[in-house]
Amino acid sequence: MSNLLQYEEKFKKVISIIESRKARAYHKVNEELILMYRDIGKYISIQSNNLEYGDSFIQKLADFFKENYPNLKGFTRRGLYRMKQFYELYKDDKKEGVTK
């Protein structure tokens, strides 16, 4: 038992490395999701401004996802509209951050 206690601090260091890297991985995944939402929002914004599609583009895209990718979450009309809003709200923001 005392032999195990001798290594406990070294083992805790390994746990610390694991937890630190997991936190960094979660941060990177979140950053990529934000970039994805921004890029989708930009595309939707451009297409919605096209007179041929207008506001119906979002609904048609949501219907497409529902029919072809029913297990994909977050791509409802409401979710897609929020992606568009997100892009339009921050498109002129020059701050460093997720876009660097």
Q: What is the pLDDT of residue 99?
A: 45
CA torsion 15→18→20→23, rounded to 10°?
Answer: -130
DSSP 59-90: HHHHHHHHHH-TT-TT-SHHHHHHHHHHHHHH
Q: What is the pLDDT of residue 86?
A: 97
Q: For residue 16, which amino acid is it?
A: S
Write down the pTM of the prediction: 0.78
Residue 70: phi, psi to the nearest 5?
-65, -25
- pLDDT per residue as tens digits for the range 76-87: 999 999 999 999
- Per-residue pLDDT, averaged over 3-9, amounts to 82
Q: What percent of the chain has pLDDT over 70?
A: 90
For the chain, domain boundaries:
2-90
User: CA-CA distance, 86 to 65, in Å (whole number)?
Assistant: 20
